[in-house]
């Protein structure tokens, strides 16, 4: 068993799933992989089951009944990881927006003292390739908004490419997190920040997916806009939040 688990949530990623799994297993460092699939109609989970023959004991699959959002998929994956002995638990998308080789850079940052290593698009300028302008502006604007409301000095709070040390996930009350989209990513970092964990940003290049479709929706954007505000308010009102 590796000391590290990469959790990849999937919904209709048949065009990416095999390549992304193989890319992780081709890395110099050993990582285990957990796919959390929401019963994708395109057969993503069937493909993972086939691949499990080749990667016995390293590739794991959890299938949920229906599409229930990225946030709850990660919570499911975190709890799965905490039942086992993993020390470093990663979040990564299936669509190659996050370069698998950067997993090793996030890992190194955690070995060198970070509790949370964030693959950051905005640490040095704007490192986003092939995204339409409106998505860059939305994402970049969101990071200003989050800084303003929460006071948390992170350049890329909505980032979904992250390494958490085990103790961070053990400390955060995972059952309290109900957000599903970008707000989920913000809340995870905010809770780690309030608990005084050391958050370090590692500069990465984010490239838009070439295959398959984005699951981003206006509901996810609204959740982030209102959610961040209510999250900050709740964190002030309730001591044990």
Ligand X SMILES: Nc1nc2c(ncn2[C@@H]2O[C@H](COP(=O)(O)OP(=O)(O)O)[C@@H](O)[C@H]2O)c(=O)[nH]1
10 near ligand X (CB under 6 A): yes
Q: Length of the chain in residues, anyone?
A: 241
Looking at residues 158 to 217 of the shown chain, list those that interact with ligand X (rule: CB under 6 A).
209, 214-216
| Cβ distance to ligand X smaller for residue 38 or 201 | 38
Cβ density class 138-155: b for 16+ within 10 Å, e for less: bbbebbebbeebbebebb
| Residue 95 sits in the site that holds ligand X (CB under 6 A) | yes
Q: Are 105 and 120 in contact (CB under 8 A)?
A: no
Could you give the string, one character per residue 35-74, with x where binding to ligand X holds by CB under 6 A and - elsewhere? -xxx----------------------------xxxx--x-
The CB-of-22 to Mg ion minimum distance in angstroms stands at 19
Q: Which of the choices Mg ion, ligand X, none does residue 89 contact, using the CB cut-off of 5 to 8 A by kind?
A: none
Whole-angstrom CA distances from 98 to 56, 93, 156 are 25, 6, 14
The rounded distance, in Å, linking the Cα atoms of 223 and 69 is: 12
| Residue 139 partner contact from ligand X, Mg ion, none using kind-dependent CB cut-offs of 5 to 8 Å | none
Q: Which does 70 bind (CB under 5 to 8 A by kind): Mg ion, ligand X, none?
A: ligand X
Residues touching ligand X: how many (CB under 6 A)? 20
Indicate which of ligand X, Mg ion, none lies near residue 69 (CB less than 5 to 8 Å, by partner kind): ligand X
| Separation of alpha carbons 164 and 167, rounded Å | 8
Cβ distance to ligand X smaller for residue 112 or 218: 218
DSSP, collapsed to helix, strand or coil, labels residue 135 as helix
CB of 226 to ligand X, least distance (A): 18
Strand stretches in 38-172, DSSP E: 59-63, 88-91, 116-120, 128-129, 162-165
Maximum CA pair distance of the chain? 51
Q: Interface residues with ligand X (CB under 6 A)?
A: 9-11, 13, 36-38, 67-70, 73, 93-95, 97, 209, 214-216
């Amino acid at each position: 068993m590796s000391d590290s688990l990469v959790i990849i949530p999937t919904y209709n990623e048949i065009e990416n799933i095999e390549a992304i799994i193989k890319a992780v297993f081709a890395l110099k460092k050993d990582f285990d992989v957990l796919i959390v699939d929401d019963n994708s109609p395109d057969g993503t989970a069937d493909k993972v089951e086939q691949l499990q023959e080749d990667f016995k004991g390293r590739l794991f699959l959890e299938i949920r009944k229906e599409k229930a959002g990225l946030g709850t998929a990660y919570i499911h994956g975190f709890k799965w990881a905490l039942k086992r002995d993993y020390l470093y638990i990663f979040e990564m998308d299936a669509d190659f927006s996050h370069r698998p080789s950067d997993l090793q850079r996030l890992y190194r940052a955690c070995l060198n003292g970070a509790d949370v290593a964030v693959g950051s698009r905005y640490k040095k300028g704007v490192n986003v390739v092939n995204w339409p302008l409106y998505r860059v502006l939305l994402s970049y604007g969101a990071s200003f908004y989050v800084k303003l409301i929460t006071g948390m000095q992170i350049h890329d709070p909505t980032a979904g490419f992250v390494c958490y040390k085990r103790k961070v996930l053990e400390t955060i009350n995972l059952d309290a997190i109900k957000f599903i989209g970008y707000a989920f990513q913000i809340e995870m970092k905010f809770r780690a920040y309030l608990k005084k964990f050391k958050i370090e940003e590692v500069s990465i290049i984010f490239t838009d997916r070439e295959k398959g479709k984005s699951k981003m929706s206006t509901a996810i954007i609204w959740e982030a806009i209102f959610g961040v505000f209510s999250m900050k308010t709740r964190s002030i009102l309730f001591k044990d939040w």
